[in-house]
Amino acid sequence: MKEKIIRCAIYDRVSTDGQVKEGLSLDAQQEALTEYALSHHYKIVDYYADEGITARKKMQNRKDLIRLLNDVKADKIDLILVTKLDRWFRNVKDYHNTQAILEAHNCNWKTIFEEYDTSTSNGRFAINIMLSVNENECDRDSDRIKNVFDYKKKQREHLNGKPAYGYISVKKKLVKDPETRHIVEDTFNHYFGCYSKNATIKYILGKYANEQNPPTMYQVKRILTCETYAGRKYGIDNYCEAYITWEQYKKIVSTSDAKIIPHQTEPFLFSSMIKCPICGKNMSGFVKRQKLKNGSVSEYKRYRCGAKFTEYHNGACISESVIEAYLLDNVMGELDRELLQIKSKEQEEKQKKPAANPVKIMGEINRLNLMYQKGRIDDEYYDKQYSILNEKLSAAQQPQEHRTIESYTAIRETLNEGWYEMYKRLDITHKKAFWKGIIKEIYVDKDSRQICGFKFML
């Protein structure tokens, strides 16, 4: 009777450069596994290799292991060869999940440099012990690496990988790259002149296409969205040299285009600034075309909520010219009103008693509790005083809106004498930049569906 040929799969894995130096490279593993398979007259079905992947990573991240298991499920494999147990698994849970798949399809596995036997209870027990030890070693290594990274972050060192465009690593610190810093600076200058990511990307890619190290579209997008360029990284301020201030970064975030509108030749003035009165989402612009009696076509811009087509609510639909006229008519009056309100409030604050201190109130509550515990006051007195103090504490802990005349400085400079005549001479791009620079949100009344107010960009 002809002996059955065992169909064999060869699996190897390496996670670090250090393991390559120790002789555990993929080529070294593959050579040893191939020699073993041929010496035992196995038929090699395929080679499976995961490079740069630790055995403690989620199984779905080990792409060739997933491909191997799919072939096992297709009953293409009788035996899997690996060099050592830790090349196969270092995680008890994933091992048992994989073993269940192998057993369901009559597939075995074998280590060529170690003796493991899954056919006996003692053999399975030994495998579980070794996997537990390996898992514990990985956890300790992970903790050590995390501690090292935490220390490096405190020292504001560049950890690893290629620095962001516009930066280089000098003595483990991120500093501005002298060869590309002018491109990054130009990116921000252009954005703050038009407040459009799409326009900025188009401008930068066109202007610097012939540079020695031109940025890609992805890199320009990242420049306009990554807080590293404001000097902040891993939640730590002043981590590296900054191209813009933190206030400028927050302004980019708050004024960024809500979405990209393809094939749009002319920008909308108020994109991402108008809130839907029904669902609170940003209203987006579209062009309304209407055929006139004389045969010509009239085009005008309007804004509507995109959710009206998915959530089926009857939201507002407002013309851009109506919004622009409302702002032109009301922006100076609203500015004067808010400045007057701040001045009046400042006068009231001067005449008021100093604000209650939450720490002091908590001290009074603690003393009240102590007197009650010692029996020096009765229940009625305690309840009354506790209620009074608790109300004072709640009022003292309420966040107070703090606006000053100085916070309106940039807006007052924009709306200086002659601003209206200047505005009428602007093109559409600079009109958009004008409104983006002073207005944060525009509000629509829920009942009338008309513009009812706006909020300044402070």
**Average pLDDT of every residue of the chain:** 82
Task: Report the distance separating Cα 15 and Cα 145, nearest Å.
Answer: 15
Task: Report the distance separating Cα 66 and Cα 331, nearest Å.
Answer: 61
Residues of the chain with CATH 3.40.50.1390: 7-141
Which residues is 146 bridged to in the sheet?
none
pLDDT digits (tens, 9 = 90+) for 95-147: 778 888 988 999 988 888 877 656 556 666 677 676 666 666 655 655 666 67
Buried b / exposed e along 86-123 (16+ C-beta atoms within 10 A)? bbbbbbbebbeebbeebeeeebebbbbeeebeeeeeee
pLDDT digits (tens, 9 = 90+) for 367-423: 888 887 878 888 888 888 888 888 887 777 666 556 788 888 888 888 988 899 999
Task: Report the distance separating Cα 93 and Cα 47, nearest Å.
Answer: 25
In this predicted structure, the answer to whether residue 94 has a pLDDT above a threshold of 50 is yes
Task: Report the distance separating Cα 297 and Cα 317, nearest Å.
Answer: 20
From 3.20.20.140, 3.90.1750.20, 3.30.450.90, 3.40.50.1820, which CATH number describes the 167-255 domain?
3.90.1750.20
Q: What's the whole-model pTM score?
A: 0.46
pLDDT digits (tens, 9 = 90+) for 327-377: 999 999 999 999 998 888 888 777 766 667 777 888 888 888 888 787 888
How confident is the model at residue 18, as a pLDDT? 42
Task: Report the distance separating Cα 182 and Cα 195, nearest Å.
Answer: 19
Interacting residues of 15 by C-beta distance below 8 A, sequence separation 6+:
52, 53, 54, 55
Considering the domain 7-141 in this protein, what is its CATH number? 3.40.50.1390
pLDDT digits (tens, 9 = 90+) for 297-318: 778 889 988 776 666 677 788 9
Backbone phi, psi, residue 234, to 5°: 55, 30
| Best CA proximity match to 258, nearest among 286, 294, 278, 223 | 286
The angle that helices 428-438 and 181-194 make with each other, rounded to 10 degrees, is 90
In this predicted structure, the answer to whether residue 23 has a pLDDT above a threshold of 60 is no
Residues of the chain with CATH 3.90.1750.20: 167-255
Q: Is 330 helix (H, G, I), strand (E, B) or coil?
A: helix
